[in-house]
Structure 1
Amino acid sequence: MGKISNQQVVQSLTSKFGDKITIPTEPFGFLTFETSADNISEVLRFLKEDKELKFNYLTDITGIHFPEQELSIGVIYHLHSLSNNVRIRIKVFLDGKAPKIPTATNLWEGANWMERETFDFFGIDFEGHPNLVRILNVDDMTVFPMRREHPLEDPNRVDKKDYFFGR
């Protein structure tokens, strides 16, 4: 059990940011809320530097893609307060045509590799990042493989025909 509850975290966030964050939810007890790209740096800094909350460990940064939504690209941050044993998830949704968000490398040096990986797979531009280049895919790749912008299978594959499976 943590030293502070999710409700105390929510109270601190709403008193500081008000309507700059959405109403938090708790799927599976994991406190989750959304904010905008304009506010994310301020929210992350507050969560890390607040003397009571102490979310000093950046667990993960990743992306999601929902092509049917207006703001189709999402950036997800997972933070952990080691001293309070509390975790939090922050979501930021961006325009899919040119997704841009400020970097978190000025708060956590470990964000460097996480942001590079997210850029590599989702095409999210982390503004201010010291070296935003591909990390896992080839440099001359023109697509972002985790976006749902390509068919899942090649319809011309002959080994996928029904008659091979007795149908």
Structure 2
Amino acid sequence: MMFNDIKLLLIQKFGEAVITGEETGGLQPALLINPDDIVAVCLELRNNPKTYFDFLSSLSGVHYNDENNRYGVVYHLASIPFKLQLTLKISKPYNRESTELPEFKSVTSVYRTADWHERETYDLLGIFFEGHPDLRRILLPDDWEGFPLRKDYQIAEYYKGIKID
């Protein structure tokens, strides 16, 4: 099954609004998915016998820092039996003045490997995953303030009395 076949399959299942765009200029094409539909799309791609994307090989957070200050998540799926790979991307604007974290739905109900990937994305970038079973820091100490990979993060001068260079 090719990229356009997968795109058509998703449109037939969920309607045209499920795909908000596509990126075909890079080494691996990506489908831009409506963020509200990401769990249903991943479930369909995993369970459909024509695609069987049974492995989430990577999940990464992105802070685009564009005019809309978008945050997003990139999912790299693999179908081991069919030897296929697919990239899905979701994003939405984020208000710079907000005290709330950018929020997306967790895909841990579809792919258990998303558990630690989402925790790392939360810990370093500050993206909240709704429905995650145990969303807490995974790399930084529990009392760390801020999210070091944000483009608006201010480096602390001290942590627990120790100067940070």
The TM-score range, normalised by the shorter chain, is 0.7 to 0.9
25 and 94 in structure 1: CA distance in 2 versus 1, 3 angstrom threshold: closer
Counterpart secondary structure, 2:152 = coil
> How far apart are 1:83 and its partner, in Å?
1.5
Which AA in structure 1 matches 2:131? G
Tell me which residue corresponds to 1:20: 18
- The CA RMSD over aligned residues, in Å, is 1.9
Q: CA deviation digits over 1:72-123, x for unaligned, max 9?
A: 2111111011122111111111343431111111111111111100000111
14 and 86 in structure 1: CA distance in 2 versus 1, 3 angstrom threshold: same
* TM-score after normalising by structure 2: 0.82
13 and 29 in structure 1: CA distance in 2 versus 1, 3 angstrom threshold: farther
Between the aligned partners of 2:28 and 2:105, the Cα distance in structure 1 is: 24
Tell me which residue corresponds to 2:70: 72
Tell me which residue corresponds to 2:79: 81
Over the matched positions of the two proteins, sequence identity in percent amounts to 30
Between the aligned partners of 2:28 and 2:148, the Cα distance in structure 1 is: 28
Structure 1 position 130 matched with structure 2 position 136:
no
Which AA in structure 1 matches 2:134? N
Tell me which residue corresponds to 2:163: none
Tell me which residue corresponds to 1:47: 45
Structure 1 position 143 matched with structure 2 position 146:
yes
Do the aligned partners of 2:72 and 2:91 also contact (CA within 8 Å) in 1?
A: yes
Structure 2 residue runs without a partner (length 5+):
158-165
Do the aligned partners of 1:71 and 1:93 also contact (CA within 8 Å) in 2?
A: no
* TM-score after normalising by structure 1: 0.81
Tell me which residue corresponds to 1:36: 34
Counterpart secondary structure, 1:7 = helix
Which AA in structure 1 matches 2:51? L
Between the aligned partners of 1:40 and 1:150, the Cα distance in structure 2 is: 28
Counterpart secondary structure, 1:24 = strand
